[in-house]
Amino acid sequence: MSDAGAIDIAALIPHAGAMVLLDRVETWDTDGILCRARSHLNAANPLRRDGRLSACCGLEYALQAAALHGALIASGVAQRAGYVAALRGVVLRVERLDMETLGELRVAARLERQEAAGIIYALSVEAADGTPLLSGRATVALPA
C-alpha cells in the first residue's frame, strides 16, 4: 500500500466543516484505504445525539473513507456524490464510539466491485488497538 502523505480530505469528499470526520489517510491502493480519525471524541461532533455517538455513526466514517478512496483512485479528483442504496451484513460490536478508551479509530474501506452505476465496499472500523467495532458492506448508487 502506498504512504498517503498529506491529503486534503475535505477537497476530495462531498462533506464540509465538522462533517469531515476523517483526520488522515494512513495507506491506500487500488483495492482499499485505511484512514485514522479522532473526531468521535469531539463533544461538538455533529453526529452526536444527547451527548453520545452511537456505533452506527461509524458507518458514516467508513463511507467517507470509501468516498475518499474513490477520489484517490480517480487520480485525486473528487467524484460526484453517490447515494447509499443498501447496507448489508452490518455488525455493531459496541454501543458507542465516543469512549476515550477506543483511542484513534482505524477506518477501512475495501473495494469489492465497481461499475458505472455503482460501487460496493466492505467497511470496517476498529479501535486503536485493533479491536473490531463495526463492519458491513455498502452499495453506493452513482447518479448518471
Domain count, the chain: 1
Question: Are 82 and 127 within 8 A, CB to CB?
Answer: no
Q: Is the dihedral of CA 84, 109, 47, 24 positive or negative?
A: negative
Cell numbers at residue 124, please? 470496517
Beta strands in 63-142 (DSSP E): 83-92, 105-115, 118-126, 132-141
pLDDT of residue 128: 97
pLDDT of residue 43: 95
Buried b vs exposed e over 46-74: b needs ≥16 C-beta within 10 Å? ebbeeeebbbebbbbbbbbbbbbbbbbbe
Half-sphere exposure of 27 (CA within 13 A, CB side): 7
The SS3 assignment for 55 reads helix
The residue segments making up the domain with residue 23 are 2-141
CATH number of the domain that residue 99 is part of: 3.10.129.10
Question: Are 12 and 71 within 8 A, CB to CB?
Answer: yes
Per-residue model confidence as pLDDT tens for the chain (144 residues): 444 556 899 999 988 899 999 999 999 999 999 999 999 999 999 999 999 999 999 999 999 999 999 999 998 888 888 899 999 999 999 999 999 999 999 999 999 999 989 999 999 999 999 999 999 999 999 887
